[in-house]
């Protein structure tokens, strides 16, 4: 499996747990669950995945950062992997398997493979900051146990780990490594091409490079990225697929025009983090309920939500 | 419970799991565990705690960063909390309860309280970078459910979260908040006093301030810190208690002299992280076995281990 084109990352919407009612008026009330308790909203989740299938995305990324993987239990993650593969109807599914300990990563790998994932996505999550050699050891251990392709997930903001290009090159040689989800590239074409060329000095063409940071997707795809690992595509897959197809056909005018429609949204991503913004987008579109983020992470306040609504109006996604 | 004096954080030593033997020659071999599998070395752990009790530390910090809490399962953490309280023989135990989700933090709080902890230690661990308001919400939720005192754990290196002094002030007003484990202070006396004064503009004297960053302990205690939350004290409690008693008695010459003996070790902390260095110290002293860190984190290589041995010789802890 070679991951190219648009890989859309659905949110994993949560629903706050409300206190259980006592069975009869004589039963003592059960302990009220904490305000931090939640369950996965499986119905809303399947709806999000079906929307991606309808929009003909090239692959689906379950349990990415946007999919709240870091906050869910092993059984919740295994269930999401199963639900995604079922609802994907043959569209390849790559499942996030990252965890702080290699022991837990391998458990998530086993669950993802059992669920029928077409690949796994692995970031070097860290609590103690990892050395380059420790991160290599993680990928080496996991690659030795995998029977599906591996996508390397490079996200210094969430993991606190910075890959050197030399490390990317070493990991790319491991068996089964098929793609790297790279951080945002510069938006200027020359600088984006130079960034890609630096990767290619270390990483062979057998391994695809996929851009992340949705605001730099057009620049990334037009300057040689093979794929776009997209947060926004989790909620607006048609618009993102139109951008992807235009860019991969070399139509830079159309690709940049679609990206420019979402410029106010990219600014909100930078201010609030893409997860909080895309969650608000999904709420505005009626795809998920409120309170869907895992505490301590919280949704945008009223001011932020109004800014998201205005950004969607500016993009023509909702009527003003 | 007011945490003052020396709080020593023991390592949680792990032992790699070796493949299980089949029961009889006819039984098919069980699946070999991965090289990343481990169990807690409970015997070695209890030995470390007893060493702290013998050295008359003022409190014991179980499951701090040095205690590998971030890599352990809920049941392993609950068991460590129980073992610590049992072995502490009345010395107050503060138990680390941090986790990425508030839901998991509350589960660890319940386990720590059930085990008999005298307090809990809570850091704003983050995957999605938290806002100041989200971090406050975490402490607010936990404080509302606590029945033992809470120590705020400020460690930007591992958590990726930076507290403002305003946030420290707001959290310090929450019910049950008793102490703040602050990052290293400057080693120059004037700068250390200025740092402490800034905290005290926001945090009342009811809440103790404990220095971390062992190399700045003497400076911190001499300039007004009430406590030292110490990694090194987990393996060398007598030396650290001597430093603490001297500093709290105002004997800056003795305190600085003890700290200076360990200068080569503080340098190794900065290069390799205190966890890897203190683990090597514990191995050199024969307190734990090898391979005791949770993958992907690994122990020091041969060069690093030799440097640790030389630092211990320089400190007079082992013979050269």
ipTM of the complex: 0.95
Tracing tokens 């830079």 back to the chain, one arrives at A252
Is B225 part of any domain? yes
**For chains A and B, what is the number of CB pairs under 8 angstroms?**
115
Question: Of A70, A273, A296, which is closest to B102 when you measure between CB atoms?
Answer: A296
Contact A298 B137 (CB under 8 A): yes
Q: Is B49's Cβ below 8 Å from some Cβ in A?
A: no
- Told to judge if B153 belongs to the known catalytic residues of this protein, a careful annotator would answer yes
**Res A202: pLDDT:** 98
Give yes or no for a contact between B80 and B116, defined as CB atoms under 8 angstroms apart. Answer: no
Average pLDDT over residues A172-178: 98
Pick B296's closest partner by Cβ from A138, A157, A158.
A138
Backbone angles phi, psi at A83, to 5 degrees: -60, -40
The answer to whether residue B264 sits within a structural domain is no
A199 in any annotated domain = yes
Question: What are the pLDDT digits (tens) for A49-75?
Answer: 999 999 999 999 999 999 999 999 999
**CATH classification at residue A183:** 3.20.20.70
Number of Cβ within 10 Å of residue A207's Cβ equals 23
Instruction: Quote the Cα angle for B182-B184-B185, to 5°.
Output: 100
| Burial readout B222-246 (b: 16 or more C-beta within 10 A, e: otherwise) | bbbbbbbbbbbbbbbbebbbbbbbb
A153 is catalytic: yes
Residue range A16-31: mean pLDDT, rounded: 57
Look at residue A146 and tell me if it is in a domain. yes
Spans of chain B below 50 pLDDT:
22, 29-30
Maximal CA-CA distance, chain B: 73
Q: Please state the domain count of chain B.
A: 1
Distances (CA, A) of B166 to A290, B82, B169, B191: 29, 35, 5, 20
- Residue of A103, A127, A298 lying closest to B158 (CB–CB): A127
CA distance A183 to chain B (A): 15
Residues in contact with A16: Cβ distance below 8 Å, sequence separation at least 6, in sequence order: A35, A37, A38, A291
Residue numbers of the domain that contains B128:
5-16+34-251
Q: Is A106 on the interface with B (CB under 8 A)?
A: yes
Residues of A in contact with B105 (CB under 8 A): 36
* Integer angstrom CA distances of residue A42 from A111, A274, B100, B181: 18, 22, 22, 40
> How much is the pLDDT for B23?
53
- How much is the pLDDT for A320? 80
Task: Kindly list the residues from chain A whose CB atom is less than 8 angstroms away from the CB atom of residue B271.
Answer: none
Q: Choose from B11, B102, B127, B158 for mutation: most chain A CBs within 10 A.
A: B127
When computed from its CA atoms, the radius of gyration of chain A, rounded to whole angstroms, is 20
Tokens of A115: 């669920």
Count of residues in chain B? 320
Choose, from A45, A69, A153, A229, the residue flagged as catalytic. A153
Residue B277 is assigned to a structural domain of this protein: no
d(CA B180, CA B234): 19
Hey, how many other C-beta atoms are within 10 angstroms of the C-beta on B119? 26
Closest CA to A188 of A252, A270, A274: A252
3-class SS letters over chain B: CCCCEEEECCCCCEEECCCCCCCCCCCCCCCCCCCCCEEECHHHHHHHHHHHHHCCCCEEEECCHHHCHHHCCHHHHHHHHHHHHHHHCCCCEEEECCCCCHHHHHHHHHHHHHHCCCEEEECCCCCCCCCHHHHHHHHHHHHHHCCCCEEEECCHHHHCCCCCHHHHHHHHCCCCEEEEEECCCCCCHHHHHHHHHHHHHHCCCCCEEEECCHHHHHHHHHCCCCEEEECHHHCCHHHHHHHHHHHHCCCHHHHHHHHHHCHHHHHHHHHHCHHHHHHHHHHHCCCCCCCCCCCCCCCCCHHHHHHHHHHHHHCCCCCC
Contact A129 B275 (CB under 8 A): no
Optimal mutation site among B38, B72, B103, B292, interface A, most CBs of chain A within 10 A: B103
A208 labeled part of a ligand binding site: no
In a domain, B47, yes or no: yes
pLDDT in the model for residue B34: 65
- On whether the CB atoms of residues A162 and A156 are closer than 8 A, the answer is yes
Q: Say yes or no to pLDDT of A252 above 70.
A: yes
CA-nearest residue to B127 within chain A is A158
Q: What pLDDT does residue B36 have?
A: 84
Segment A163-176 mean pLDDT: 98
- Whether residues A297 and B130 touch (CB distance < 8 A) is answered with yes
Q: Do B296 and A124 touch (CB under 8 A)?
A: yes
Residues of B in contact with A127 (CB under 8 A): 65, 70-71, 125, 158
Cis peptide bond N-terminal to A198, omega within 30: no
What would the mean pLDDT of A100-104 be, rounded to a whole number? 97
Q: Give the CB-side neighbour count of residue B293, counting CA atoms within 13 A.
A: 24
Residues B246 and B217 sit within 8 Å (Cβ to Cβ): no
Kindly state whether A145 is in contact with chain B, defined as any CB-CB distance less than 8 angstroms.
yes
DSSP letter assigned to residue A70: G
- Could B101 and A130 be called an inter-chain contact, meaning their C-beta atoms sit closer than 8 Å? no
Nearest CA in chain B to A130: B297
Position A99 in a domain? yes
8-state DSSP, A53 = H
- Of A135, A160, A295, nearest to B296 by CB-CB distance is A135
A294 within domain boundaries: no
pLDDT digits (tens, 9 = 90+) for A282-315: 999 999 999 999 999 999 999 999 999 999 999 9
């Amino acid at each position: 499996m070679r991951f190219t084109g648009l890989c859309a990352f659905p949110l994993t919407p949560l629903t706050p747990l409300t206190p259980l009612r006592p069975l009869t008026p004589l039963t003592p009330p059960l302990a009220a669950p904490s305000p931090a308790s939640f369950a996965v909203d499986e119905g809303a989740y399947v709806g999000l995945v079906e929307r991606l299938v309808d929009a003909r995305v090239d692959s689906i990324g379950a349990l990415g950062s946007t999919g709240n993987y870091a906050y869910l239990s092993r059984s919740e993650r295994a269930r999401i992997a199963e639900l995604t593969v079922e609802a994907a109807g043959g569209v390849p599914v790559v499942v996030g398997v990252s965890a702080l300990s290699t022991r837990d990563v391998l458990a998530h790998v086993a669950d993802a493979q059992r669920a029928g994932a077409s690949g796994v996505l692995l970031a070097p999550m860290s609590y103690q900051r990892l050395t380059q050699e420790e991160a290599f050891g993680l990928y080496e251990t996991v690659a030795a146990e995998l029977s599906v392709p591996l996508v390397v997930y490079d996200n210094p903001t969430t993991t606190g780990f910075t890959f050197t290009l030399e490390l990317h090159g070493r990991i790319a040689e491991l068996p089964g490594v098929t793609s790297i989800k790279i951080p945002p590239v510069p938006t200027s074409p020359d600088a984006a091409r130079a960034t890609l060329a630096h990767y290619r000095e270390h990483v062979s063409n057998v391994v695809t490079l996929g851009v992340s940071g949705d605001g730099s997707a057009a620049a990334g795809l037009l300057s040689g990225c093979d794929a776009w690992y997209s947060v926004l595509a989790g909620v607006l897959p048609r618009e993102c697929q139109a951008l992807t197809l235009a860019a991969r056909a070399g139509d830079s005018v159309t690709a940049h025009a679609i990206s420019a429609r979402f410029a106010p949204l990219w600014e909100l991503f930078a201010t609030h983090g893409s997860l909080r913004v895309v969650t608000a987008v999904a709420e505005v579109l009626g795809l998920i309920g409120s309170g869907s983020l895992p505490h301590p992470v919280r949704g945008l306040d009223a001011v932020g939500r109004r800014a998201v609504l205005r950004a969607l109006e500016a993009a023509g996604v909702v009527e003003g």
